[in-house]
Structure 1
Amino acid sequence: MKTQDSREEAASSASALAPSGDADPGQTTQAPRLARSAGAFGFMTLLSRIAGFARDVLQAHLFGAGVATDAFTIAYRIPNYLRRIFAEGSFAMAFVPVFNELKQNGDERALKDFLDHVAGALCAAVLVITALGMLAAPLIVSVVAPGSLQQPEKFALTSEMLRIVFPYLFFISLTALAGAVLNSMQRFALPAFTPVLHNLSVIAAMLLLAGLLDVPAKALAWGVFVAGIAQFLLLWPSLARHGMLPRLRLNLGHDGVRRVGKLMLPTLFSSSVAQINLIIGTAFASLLVAGSQTWLWYSDRLVEFPLGLFGVAIGTVILPHLSRRSAAADTAGFSRGVDWGLRMILLVGLPAAAGLALLAEPLAVVIFQRGAFTAEDSLMTALALTAMSIGVPGFMLSKVLAPAFFSRQDTKTPMRAALWTVAINVSLTVAIVTPLWLNGVPGAHAGIALATALAGLANAALLWRALRRSGGFELQAGWRRFLWQLLLGLCCMAVAVLVLRQQVGDFARYAEWQRWGLLLAAVATGALTYGLGLLLAGLRPRQLRHH
């Protein structure tokens, strides 16, 4: 990165506050608006993550880690991966730029016609895929979890759970369409709230159904099924209030449908590369000891907290913003938007990764270790979490870098990066896990997490390299100083958390309420010292608003 003097920093700050030239004077592109939108999205996501933690705590308490939870983890990953294609992943990345372009043109009839036909095509596609998935459940399980073929009971249970959860794909895809429309209209709060219903539905199912079923863990699958319906019923009617409730029309030859389909095709890999890597990890984990899929699941859930709270929030609000800048040919505004997103991601992503690594075992002990979830389960989860935390900055950066291409309707570049990333993940998984597995080393599943993390960093690096080479993007001033400020803040945080951990010792020896108090104190100490380190280094909140 080239050196910038203070005058260049001041000029960049001033330009970031200038109007962007959007055709709609009410749609300014100043970073404070992006920050407020990300804040609203992040707050609703926080509620979802709190409900998600309650769900995970109850699940660990009731079912622990074993064959039944492994079966649910495998079954749930399939529609969850497809959700990334037909819901907020590949579909959203293709749909939002086209929707915003038509919206920018001001032709409401053309916009509504586009929405009607895309909704009809999406509904038909996911309905067919859902039906095929339910019919071919055993075949799918044999492909994604080959190790379960040696365990007939686990194989049958996984296939049954997959049939239960597959309809979730249909409802969540239509929910995501509604969310994409609302996000494009600058309505972020309600779409961000819908995952709360998902977690509450699963919690209710565990409490009400677990004792009535032959295999109590089946309640998890039924909870996911109900969650899809609940989210659809909340979000879909909200489109009517904005005059955007689609009339389903099926015409695969419609220009808008073909355009979205053409943009979607390359994004099938690029928008869901993390999920693809998790599917690969699931297949390898099926060959390891019972509980491996569950340990990876819980570590992934902990990683998803900062990723969903900050990475997804920033990525979600920045895609419509960058799409408008691209449609208006506002190169300067586009650069400022991407630059702001990258800074915000690093500001929260680096301490999140460090915090997860430093507090991996306390997090597993305090959140999960009770009931059927043993100390051994906590240790195995912590190993996976420590390895997975390395990739958090990469996972989060991709949430900004990929939309930078999608907003310009360039889907091929992220696809190429995704293909390389999957190849890297498979190679690393084989290289790391195989010797551990063959030698019976405990914690071999952590090798899967490490491979996924390194692949995530590789994906971000490939996207960054491509963005710098693509033209039409310029870094704003002050990056060298910003990175040094982050480094000082991270050092302060690491020292404080390590000292506190040394004083506390084993979290498991404390009473329940003391564990939670100590964990919250550790998190608060880390956050406070990180913030103080940034202030000592000269970073001020107003500087973040300037980019």
Structure 2
Amino acid sequence: MNGGLYRSAHSAPDGEPPQTEEGVTLISVDTAISGYEQAIAPEPVPEGDTSTAGNSAVMAIGSLVSRVIGFARNALIGMALGSGVGDAYTSAQFLPGQIYELLLGGILSSVLVPLLVRRRKADPDEGLDFTRKLLTFAIVSLGIATVLMVIAAPLITWIQSGSDTPPAYRSLVTHFAFLILPIIFFTGLSALIGAVLNVRGHFAAPMWAPILNNFVVIATCGVFILFFSSDDLSVDNISGGAILLMGLGTLLGMVVQALGLLPALRKVGFSWKWRWDPRSLGLGEIGRLAGWMLCYVAANQIAVFVVVRILNSVAGEGSASTLAFNNVFLLTMMAHGIVGVSVMTALLPKMSAAAADGRYAEVSADLSRGIRLTSAALAPIAVIYGVLSAPIAVMLFQGGKFTNSDALATGDVLVVAAFAVLPLSISYLCTYAFYSLQGNKTAALINLPVVAVRITAYFALAAILDKSLSAAGMTAGNAISYVVSALISLAVLRRKIGRLNLGSVAASLVKVLVSAAIAAALGLLVVRLMPGAGAPDGRGEAFLQLLAGGAVILVAYLIAATVLRVREVSDVVGMVRRKLGR
């Protein structure tokens, strides 16, 4: 029930660990991974499972490293291409992820991975022959689909861009799309190999492979800056060589990611052989099982299509557009991944066990505790995003063709995203509660009105706001849909499991919001008194504002939350004191 981008675990075209541009579908057998959003819940695992804990640690480290490198990559893309060409490039990048999700992404984690697990347990050859047949069919299907999509690139970009988009901009998106759309095949190949590895208990390689992708794109940006930095780069005059370099470099990144998984495949003892036998796969059953997930995925992809179309219509008019929207969304998902998903990972096994035994009061208590803990932990991050949006954007993205005004415009979008951080994670917590209750169908059905609200908000805000605020408006549309998602989910959950302790949640949220407001006021005061006064002209001023403003916000929030007796914050502070005392 997320907004913005929607990618599966290996489908992020920019080489990040699947984040869920857009609700992110995680390919996982028995554990949730910090930093990944899932369309289906992982199977609960017994407490004290050290192998699972070890796997989670390896994947969490890989996720963190890849996110850091991913931000370096995104910053370099902006520096190399600037806002106008960068918007066109980013629009083309969305296409393979969207198409892949509709072809394979949703059903891979919800149907195919569980199916591979069952066949591995039931078949005498541990599912080897079935896996070979499945891979053969999937690779052929992906290959045919990829060729058709590349041929249809002009039509796809015309539909995505709309009639309001300048012809030169649409032409540039199309040229990038011709080069980038083959990523569909290698994304699918990477995801399928990752699924085979996960089923065989190997999690590290799929987690770390996107880092190879990042390095290739970073190197591509470096070469681009070396050879084309002196060009007067714009949508109207970018050279064919520049387009080829960025497009083929992006494609090469995903090729390297897929090839980087092959050694791990040999390590687990899997040898692939051509086995063409579609009839033995039970495609009818797979289709029936995938129905609700396809509904979930399709709804999200429609929302992605709409937001890209709206942002494309204002590209090149000096406004924060597709590139800025994507960068801010990644920041939002990073906060959610670090805090929200970590809380979900800890609570889901307990909630699932309680739900299986009919102990719904415990499910309610865990959900309530999760919302309180997530809110208390995310509030200062949201304040930092809102108050220090400009210095954050300047520090991360300014440079080269991405000017100071481009960075400050991105900061304006981040201000709006600050209000989306809490609703996003709360809505996901509710979704995980449905997973614990085996309510995947319910989660998919709730997603439909949520996406309808999101798309309505997109169009309404696009019509009301000035074009320069389009990216901020689309981010606000996401935030509104997160709130709606949380409210609908809580109402449905209350009918399913009874009281949700919402009184204690509301009391805690009020204290958290008061603490956050105090921290925000003091942070704003400090930033306004510093050089640049909240609109830094370069990284020097931005760094000083982040250092001073961040420190004031964190200290003020901790003091206010402690005075107001926000239990979750007090517990964390007490734990740190005990650790320091030792």
TM-score, length-normalised on structure 2?
A: 0.73
* Equivalences for residues 166-185 of structure 1 within 5 A: 166-180=181-195, 182-183=197-198
In structure 2, the CA distance between the partners of 1:348 and 1:323, relative to structure 1 (3 Å rule), is closer
In structure 2, the CA distance between the partners of 1:346 and 1:365, relative to structure 1 (3 Å rule), is same
Larger deviation: 281-290 or 474-483? Answer: 474-483
Show CA shifts across 1:135-188 (max 9, x none): 10000011111146x533222221121121112122222322343455566655
2:174 to 159, 163, 170: 159
Q: Which amino acid aligns with 1:122?
A: A
CA drift at 1:358: 2.2
State how far apart, in whole Å, the 1-side matches of 2:339 and 2:207 are.
Answer: 12
Q: Is 1:80 the counterpart of 2:97 in the alignment?
A: yes
Q: Is 1:207 the counterpart of 2:233 in the alignment?
A: no
CA drift at 1:200: 1.6
State how far apart, in whole Å, the 1-side matches of 2:368 and 2:55 are.
Answer: 17
Q: Which amino acid aligns with 1:61?
A: M
In structure 2, the CA distance between the partners of 1:283 and 1:216, relative to structure 1 (3 Å rule), is same
Q: Which residue of 1 aligns with 2:542?
A: 515
Is the partner of 1:52 in helix, strand or coil?
A: helix
Question: Does the aligned pair in 2 maintain the 1:310–1:348 contact within 8 Å?
Answer: yes
In structure 1, the gaps of 5 or more residues are 1-25
In structure 2, the gaps of 5 or more residues are 1-43, 229-238, 576-582
Q: Which residue of 2 aligns with 1:132?
A: 148
Q: Is 1:94 the counterpart of 2:121 in the alignment?
A: no
In structure 2, the CA distance between the partners of 1:338 and 1:205, relative to structure 1 (3 Å rule), is farther
In structure 2, the CA distance between the partners of 1:197 and 1:477, relative to structure 1 (3 Å rule), is farther
Q: Which amino acid aligns with 1:161?
A: F
Larger deviation: 127-136 or 414-423? Answer: 414-423
Q: Is 1:264 the counterpart of 2:281 in the alignment?
A: no
Q: Which amino acid aligns with 2:144?
A: V
Show CA shifts across 1:7-36 (max 9, x none): xxxxxxxxxxxxxxxxxxx95236999887
Question: Does the aligned pair in 1 maintain the 2:176–2:247 contact within 8 Å?
Answer: yes
* Equivalences for residues 446-465 of structure 1 within 5 A: 446-465=472-491
CA drift at 1:384: 2.2
Larger deviation: 265-274 or 382-391? Answer: 265-274
In structure 2, the CA distance between the partners of 1:464 and 1:124, relative to structure 1 (3 Å rule), is farther
1:413 to 442, 460, 463: 442
In structure 2, the CA distance between the partners of 1:400 and 1:168, relative to structure 1 (3 Å rule), is farther
2:74 to 56, 60, 84: 56
CA drift at 1:275: 5.2
State how far apart, in whole Å, the 1-side matches of 2:518 and 2:298 are.
Answer: 35
In structure 2, the CA distance between the partners of 1:176 and 1:361, relative to structure 1 (3 Å rule), is same
CA drift at 1:241: 2.7
Q: Which residue of 1 aligns with 2:465?
A: 436
State how far apart, in whole Å, the 2-side matches of 1:510 and 1:178 are.
Answer: 46
1:281 to 303, 307, 314: 307
Question: Does the aligned pair in 2 maintain the 1:347–1:486 contact within 8 Å?
Answer: yes
Is the partner of 2:242 in helix, strand or coil?
A: coil
CA drift at 1:323: 12
CA drift at 1:402: 4.1
Q: Which residue of 2 aligns with 1:372?
A: 401
In structure 2, the CA distance between the partners of 1:398 and 1:358, relative to structure 1 (3 Å rule), is same
State how far apart, in whole Å, the 1-side matches of 2:408 and 2:414 are.
Answer: 10
Larger deviation: 535-544 or 164-173? Answer: 535-544
* Equivalences for residues 344-383 of structure 1 within 5 A: 345-383=374-412
In structure 2, the CA distance between the partners of 1:39 and 1:275, relative to structure 1 (3 Å rule), is farther
Question: Does the aligned pair in 2 maintain the 1:167–1:225 contact within 8 Å?
Answer: yes
Is the partner of 1:216 in helix, strand or coil?
A: helix
State how far apart, in whole Å, the 2-side matches of 1:407 and 1:169 are.
Answer: 32
Larger deviation: 412-421 or 184-193? Answer: 184-193
Q: Which amino acid aligns with 1:75?
A: A
Q: Is 1:28 the counterpart of 2:46 in the alignment?
A: yes
State how far apart, in whole Å, the 2-side matches of 1:310 and 1:243 are.
Answer: 36
In structure 2, the CA distance between the partners of 1:393 and 1:511, relative to structure 1 (3 Å rule), is closer
Question: Does the aligned pair in 2 maintain the 1:145–1:286 contact within 8 Å?
Answer: yes
Identity %: 24
State how far apart, in whole Å, the 1-side matches of 2:344 and 2:278 are.
Answer: 29
State how far apart, in whole Å, the 1-side matches of 2:572 and 2:144 are.
Answer: 50
In structure 2, the CA distance between the partners of 1:227 and 1:404, relative to structure 1 (3 Å rule), is farther
In structure 2, the CA distance between the partners of 1:534 and 1:371, relative to structure 1 (3 Å rule), is same
In structure 2, the CA distance between the partners of 1:246 and 1:460, relative to structure 1 (3 Å rule), is farther
Q: Which residue of 1 aligns with 2:267?
A: 241
Question: Does the aligned pair in 1 maintain the 2:75–2:397 contact within 8 Å?
Answer: yes
State how far apart, in whole Å, the 2-side matches of 1:422 and 1:252 are.
Answer: 35
Q: Which amino acid aligns with 2:152?
A: A
Q: Which amino acid aligns with 1:77?
A: F
In structure 2, the CA distance between the partners of 1:473 and 1:481, relative to structure 1 (3 Å rule), is closer
Larger deviation: 126-135 or 414-423? Answer: 414-423
Q: Which residue of 2 aligns with 1:144?
A: 160
Q: Is 1:119 the counterpart of 2:146 in the alignment?
A: no
* Equivalences for residues 192-231 of structure 1 within 5 A: 192-209=207-224, 211=227, 214=240, 216=242, 218-231=244-257
CA drift at 1:133: 0.9
Aligned residue pairs: how many? 511
RMSD of the alignment, in Å?
Answer: 4.2
Question: Does the aligned pair in 2 maintain the 1:55–1:203 contact within 8 Å?
Answer: yes
Q: Which amino acid aligns with 1:458?
A: V
State how far apart, in whole Å, the 2-side matches of 1:245 and 1:409 are.
Answer: 35
In structure 2, the CA distance between the partners of 1:50 and 1:420, relative to structure 1 (3 Å rule), is same
Is the partner of 1:65 in helix, strand or coil?
A: helix
Q: Which amino acid aligns with 2:90?
A: T
In structure 2, the CA distance between the partners of 1:52 and 1:433, relative to structure 1 (3 Å rule), is same
Question: Does the aligned pair in 2 maintain the 1:354–1:389 contact within 8 Å?
Answer: yes
Show CA shifts across 1:280-333 (max 9, x none): 1111122225152233233223323324444566668988x599969x956669
State how far apart, in whole Å, the 2-side matches of 1:492 and 1:245 are.
Answer: 60
In structure 2, the CA distance between the partners of 1:480 and 1:318, relative to structure 1 (3 Å rule), is closer
Which structure is higher in helix share?
Answer: 1
Question: Does the aligned pair in 2 maintain the 1:338–1:401 contact within 8 Å?
Answer: yes
In structure 2, the CA distance between the partners of 1:541 and 1:85, relative to structure 1 (3 Å rule), is farther
Q: Which amino acid aligns with 1:281?
A: V
